[in-house]
Amino acid sequence: MDRKMKHMRSVCLTVASIWIVRAAASTFAKENPAPVQTQTTPANLPQFEAASVRPSGPNDPELNGLRTYAGGRIIGKGARAQYLIMVAFNVQRFQITGGPGWTDLVTGEGFDIQAVPPEDSASAHSNPTFSIDPPIDEERQMLQSLLIDRFQLKYHFETRDGQIYLLERGKGKLNLQPPSDKTAYPWAGGNYKDWYGGKNIPMPKLAERMGNWLGRPVIDQTGLAGSFDFDYKTSDPDNDADITGFLLAAMKALGLELKASKGPIQTFVIDHIERPSPN
């Protein structure tokens, strides 16, 4: 994988992971019962008052950019179909299976989207603190309608057993600090080689964040309430561990532990999808 593709993958997963709120495993199943196996038709879902979907320009550098604004307005730049599914159905990349190559989260075709909700909708009164705040439930349902209507999406959910990680307290000292800014956007990330840090992030969010990079659900079992700052730097500047090895070491240094396990994973299956006609 060349440097450009690595950068695209990093940007893609960094943006995408901000908007995905729960890994799907045993806790997911308890808190979010599996949907009915048949998809909901657009007539049963709220829809945008107006929505434009166009292929992104070939030289547009933005990848999977989707922002929410006051009044429920949504603007997307270079959004891949797989990413739109992640946001609309509140799933992570590793939960999605099926679909042609043009839908891929990194290498697929991008689309620019502008959408506004009806004036009498709850979304029209939304006022997100940050443009990267996730859409409210009604806006997610509107995105589902858009995918079903414009992309001719057909899908179903399945529960499959798979590999997961459990995030637990370790045996060593806990190296987490109270947040320096409790109003900061919850964030965790790094270069996944020699540095990993977090700002104002709760443990469930940290677990979710790592799930995107590890490619499997991470379930928070630390029992730690509140949010934290942390900063981890490896003592080995020539560290060549892969992402999994790096995160295992980072969690150990923070007084946490990632344990491999097995559990049920809710899987989103793409049965059919088409490129949308531009408008």
CA separation for the pair 91, 160 (Å, rounded): 14
In this structure, are residues 142 and 117 in contact, taking their beta carbons and an 8 Å threshold? yes
Render pLDDT for 243-253 as a digit per residue (tens, 0 to 9). 999 999 999 99
Render pLDDT for 93-113 as a digit per residue (tens, 0 to 9). 999 999 999 999 999 999 999
- Alpha-carbon distance values, 22 to 17, 108, 174, 205, 263 (Å): 10, 24, 24, 8, 15
Look at residue 14 in the predicted model and tell me its pLDDT.
42
- Is 167 in a helix, a strand, or coil? strand
Close Cβ partners of 10 (under 8 Å, ≥ 6 residues apart): none
Q: Which amino acid is residue 139, in one-letter code?
A: E
Render pLDDT for 210-225 as a digit per residue (tens, 0 to 9). 998 999 999 999 999 9
Comparing 138-142, 162-166, 191-195, the range with the smallest average pLDDT is 191-195
CA separation for the pair 8, 5 (Å, rounded): 5
Q: Which amino acid is residue 123, in one-letter code?
A: S
How many angstroms from the chain centroid is the CA of residue 275? Answer: 22
The token duo for 174 is 């806990």
Look at residue 194 in the predicted model and tell me its pLDDT.
86
Comparing 19-23, 37-41, 127-131, 162-166, the range with the smallest average pLDDT is 19-23
Split at pLDDT 50, 70, 90, the class of 21 is: very low
In this structure, are residues 123 and 115 in contact, taking their beta carbons and an 8 Å threshold? no
CA separation for the pair 142, 130 (Å, rounded): 20
Tell me the mean pLDDT in the region 43-71: 88
Comparing 105-119, 123-137, 248-262, 263-277, the range with the smallest average pLDDT is 123-137
- Is 252 in a helix, a strand, or coil? helix
In this structure, are residues 166 and 261 in contact, taking their beta carbons and an 8 Å threshold? yes
CB atoms within 10 A of CB 52: 16
Look at residue 3 in the predicted model and tell me its pLDDT.
42
Split at pLDDT 50, 70, 90, the class of 41 is: low
Per mean pLDDT, which of 5-19, 124-138, 192-206 is the most reliable? 192-206
The chain-wide mean pLDDT, for the chain, equals 85
Tell me the mean pLDDT in the region 256-279: 94
Angular region, 71: left φ>0, alpha ψ -120 to 50, beta rest:
left
The token duo for 57 is 């320009």
